[in-house]
A and B are shown apart, each in its own frame.
Chain A
Amino acid sequence: MNQIPDIKPHTTAMLVGPAAALMFGVFVLPFLFLLVLSFWSQVPGSLQFDTYLTVLNYARIFGDSYYLGGLWTTLWLSGLVTVICLLLAMPLARWIVLRAGPAKGLLIGLSILPLVCGALLPTLGLVNLLSPLGFINGALKSLGLIQSSLPLLGNITGVAIGLVQAFLPLMILPLITTMERLPQEYEKAAMSLGARRLVVWQRIILPLLLPGIVAGSLLVFCASLTAFVTPQVLGQGKVVTFASLAYQQAALVLDWPFASALAIVMLIFLGLAGMLGALVTRKFGKAS
Chain B
Amino acid sequence: MTGFPYLRIRSLGKAYRGATALHDFDLDVEQGAFVALLGPSGCGKSTLLQILSGLLEPDRGEIHLAGADITRLPPWRRNIGLVFQNYALFPHLSIRQNVRFGLDMLGIKGKEADARVDEALEMVGLDPALARRPSELSGGQQQRVAIARAIAIRPRLLLLDEPLSNLDAVLRQKVRLELRQLHDRTGITTIMVTHDQAEALATADRVAVMEAGRLLQYEAPQGLYRNPATAFIAGFIGSPAANLLPLVARDTASWTLPGGELWQPDAALTPARNGVAAGAACLMALRPETLALGSLGPGGLPVRIGAIEFTGGDQLVHVEAGQARLTLRLPAGTRVAGPTAWLFPPIQSPLLFDANTGRRLPTPH
Q: How far is the CB of A185 from chain B (nearest CB, A)?
A: 4
Instruction: List 8 interface pairs A-B (beta carbons < 8 Å), by A numbering.
Output: A190-B90, A191-B74, A192-B76, A192-B81, A194-B79, A196-B76, A208-B91, A285-B92
What are the residues of chain A within 8 A of B81 when measuring CB–CB? 192
- The answer to whether A193 and B105 touch across the interface, beta carbons within 8 angstroms, is yes
Residue ID in chain B nearest A284 by CB atoms: B92
What are the residues of chain A within 8 A of B74 when measuring CB–CB? 191, 196
- The answer to whether B88 and A188 touch across the interface, beta carbons within 8 angstroms, is yes
What are the residues of chain A within 8 A of B149 when measuring CB–CB? 189, 193
- The answer to whether A189 and B82 touch across the interface, beta carbons within 8 angstroms, is yes
- Over the window 144-158 of chain B, the binary record of Cβ atoms lying under 8 Å from chain A Cβ atoms (1 yes, 0 no) is 000001100100000
Question: Roughly how many angstroms separate A188 CA and B90 CA in the complex, as a whole number?
Answer: 11
- Tell me how many residue pairs across A and B have CB atoms closer than 8 Å: 66
Residue ID in chain A nearest B149 by CB atoms: A193
What are the residues of chain A within 8 A of B90 when measuring CB–CB? 186, 189-190, 204, 208
Question: Roughly how many angstroms separate A62 CA and B90 CA in the complex, as a whole number?
Answer: 47
Query: Does any Cβ of B come within 8 Å of A199's Cβ?
Result: yes
- Over the window 78-109 of chain B, the binary record of Cβ atoms lying under 8 Å from chain A Cβ atoms (1 yes, 0 no) is 11111010101011110001000110011000
The residue from A191, A285, A286 contacting B55, defined by CB atoms under 8 A apart = A191
Residue ID in chain B nearest A182 by CB atoms: B91
Contact A288 B97, CB 8 Å, known A192-B78, A192-B80, A195-B105: yes
Question: Roughly how many angstroms separate A278 CA and B150 CA in the complex, as a whole number?
Answer: 34
- Given A189-B82, A194-B77, 5 other A-B residues pairs in contact with their CB atoms under 8 A: A186-B90, A191-B76, A192-B82, A193-B101, A196-B76
Query: Does any Cβ of B come within 8 Å of A274's Cβ?
Result: no
Question: Roughly how many angstroms separate A89 CA and B110 CA in the complex, as a whole number?
Answer: 39
What are the residues of chain B within 8 A of A203 when measuring CB–CB? 101
Interface range on chain A: under 10, 10 to 19, 20 to 34, or 35 or more?
Answer: 20 to 34
The residue from B53, B86, B91, B106 contacting A194, defined by CB atoms under 8 A apart = B106
Query: Does any Cβ of B come within 8 Å of A5's Cβ?
Result: no
What are the residues of chain B within 8 A of A189 when measuring CB–CB? 82, 84, 88, 90, 149
What are the residues of chain A within 8 A of B322 when measuring CB–CB? none
- The answer to whether A188 and B84 touch across the interface, beta carbons within 8 angstroms, is yes
Question: Roughly how many angstroms separate A183 CA and B84 CA in the complex, as a whole number?
Answer: 11
Residue ID in chain A nearest B93 by CB atoms: A288
Query: Does any Cβ of A come within 8 Å of B75's Cβ?
Result: yes
Among A135-189, those with CB < 8 Å from B are 183, 185-186, 188-189
- Over the window 183-222 of chain A, the binary record of Cβ atoms lying under 8 Å from chain B Cβ atoms (1 yes, 0 no) is 1011011111111100100011001100000000000000
- The answer to whether B84 and A185 touch across the interface, beta carbons within 8 angstroms, is yes
Q: How far is the CB of A10 from chain B (nearest CB, A)?
A: 39
What are the residues of chain B within 8 A of A194 when measuring CB–CB? 76-77, 79, 102, 105-106, 153
Question: How many B residues, CB 8 Å from partner?
Answer: 27
Q: How far is the CB of A74 from chain B (nearest CB, A)?
A: 34
What are the residues of chain A within 8 A of B80 when measuring CB–CB? 192
- The answer to whether A185 and B79 touch across the interface, beta carbons within 8 angstroms, is no
**Using a CB–CB distance below 8 Å, which chain A residues touch chain B?**
183, 185-186, 188-196, 199, 203-204, 207-208, 285-286, 288
What are the residues of chain B within 8 A of A286 when measuring CB–CB? 92
Q: Most chain-B CB neighbours within 10 Å: which of A191, A207, A288?
A: A191
Question: Roughly how many angstroms separate A190 CA and B74 CA in the complex, as a whole number?
Answer: 12
Q: How far is the CB of B25 from chain A (nearest CB, A)?
A: 21
Question: Roughly how many angstroms separate A192 CA and B105 CA in the complex, as a whole number?
Answer: 10
Q: Most chain-A CB neighbours within 10 Å: which of B76, B77, B82, B102?
A: B76
What are the residues of chain B within 8 A of A190 when measuring CB–CB? 90, 101
Q: How far is the CB of B218 from chain A (nearest CB, A)?
A: 25
Residue ID in chain A nearest B53 by CB atoms: A192
Q: How far is the CB of A211 from chain B (nearest CB, A)?
A: 10
Question: Roughly how many angstroms separate A241 CA and B35 CA in the complex, as a whole number?
Answer: 68
The 5 closest A-B pairs by CB, nearest first: A194-B105, A185-B88, A193-B102, A192-B82, A191-B75
Q: How far is the CB of A207 from chain B (nearest CB, A)?
A: 5
What are the residues of chain A within 8 A of B153 when measuring CB–CB? 193-194
Among B335-361, those with CB < 8 Å from A are none
Question: Roughly how many angstroms separate A207 CA and B81 CA in the complex, as a whole number?
Answer: 23
Question: Roughly how many angstroms separate A285 CA and B133 CA in the complex, as a whole number?
Answer: 13
What are the residues of chain B within 8 A of A186 when measuring CB–CB? 88, 90
Q: How far is the CB of A153 from chain B (nearest CB, A)?
A: 45
What are the residues of chain B within 8 A of A196 when measuring CB–CB? 74, 76
Q: Most chain-B CB neighbours within 10 Å: which of A190, A208, A286?
A: A190
Question: Roughly how many angstroms separate A286 CA and B94 CA in the complex, as a whole number?
Answer: 9
Residue ID in chain B nearest A196 by CB atoms: B76
Question: Roughly how many angstroms separate A203 CA and B92 CA in the complex, as a whole number?
Answer: 10
What are the residues of chain B within 8 A of A193 when measuring CB–CB? 76, 101-102, 105, 149-150, 153
Question: Roughly how many angstroms separate A9 CA and B75 CA in the complex, as a whole number?
Answer: 60
What are the residues of chain A within 8 A of B102 when measuring CB–CB? 193-194
Question: Roughly how many angstroms separate A196 CA and B76 CA in the complex, as a whole number?
Answer: 6
